[in-house]
Amino acid sequence: MSEQTRSDEPAKVVTTPETVEMNVAVGEGMRRLPVYLLLDTSGSMAGAPIQALRLGVEQFKKEVEGDPFAKESVYMGVITFGGEAQFVTKGLISFEDFLSEFHPDSISADGQTPLGQALWLLVESLDKDVKSSVKGGEKGDWKPLVFILTDGEPTDEWREPRKVILDRQTKKVINVITVGCGPRINQQNLKDIAIGPTFNMNNDDAAFKRFFQWVSQSVRAASKAVSQTGGGDKPATLPPPPDGIQYIP
Confidence of residue 22 (pLDDT cuts 50, 70, 90): very low
Give per-residue pLDDT as tens, 145-172: 999 999 889 999 999 999 999 988 655 6
pLDDT exceeds cutoff 70 at 55: yes
DSSP code, position 10: P
**3-state secondary structure at position 1:** coil
The pLDDT tens digits of the residues spanning 199-217 come to 988 766 788 888 888 899 8
The alpha carbon dihedral of 102, 62, 18, 148 has a sign of negative
Residue 13's pLDDT is 39
- Residue 19 pLDDT greater than 80, yes or no: no
d(CA 7, CA 29): 8
Residues 87, 77: Cα–Cα separation, whole Å: 7
Mean confidence (pLDDT) of the chain: 82
Q: Is the confidence at residue 191, as pLDDT, over 70?
A: yes
Q: Is the pLDDT of residue 42 over 90?
A: yes
Q: Is the dihedral of CA 40, 44, 49, 50 positive or negative?
A: positive
Q: Is the pLDDT of residue 18 over 70?
A: no
Q: For residues 210 and 74, which has the higher predicted lDDT (pLDDT)? A: 74
pLDDT for the residue 25: 32
The pLDDT score that the predictor gives to residue 228 is: 64
pLDDT of residue 170: 56
Question: What's the rounded Cα separation, in Å, for the pair 40 and 50?
Answer: 9
Give the confidence band of 173 by pLDDT, cuts at 50, 70, 90: low
Mean pLDDT of the region 23-42: 72
Whole-number pLDDT of residue 47:
87
Give the chain's domains with CATH numbers.
12-247 (3.40.50.410)
Q: Which residue has the higher pLDDT, 231 or 174?
A: 174
All residues at 6 or more sequence positions from 127 whose CB lies less than 8 Å from its CB, including other chains:
none
Q: Does residue 198 register a pLDDT over 50?
A: yes
Looking at residue 169, its pLDDT comes to 65
With cut-offs at 50, 70 and 90, classify the pLDDT of residue 43.
Answer: very high
Tell me how far apart the 2 most distant CA atoms of the chain are, in Å. 56
What is the model's pLDDT at position 34? 94
pLDDT value of position 23: 31
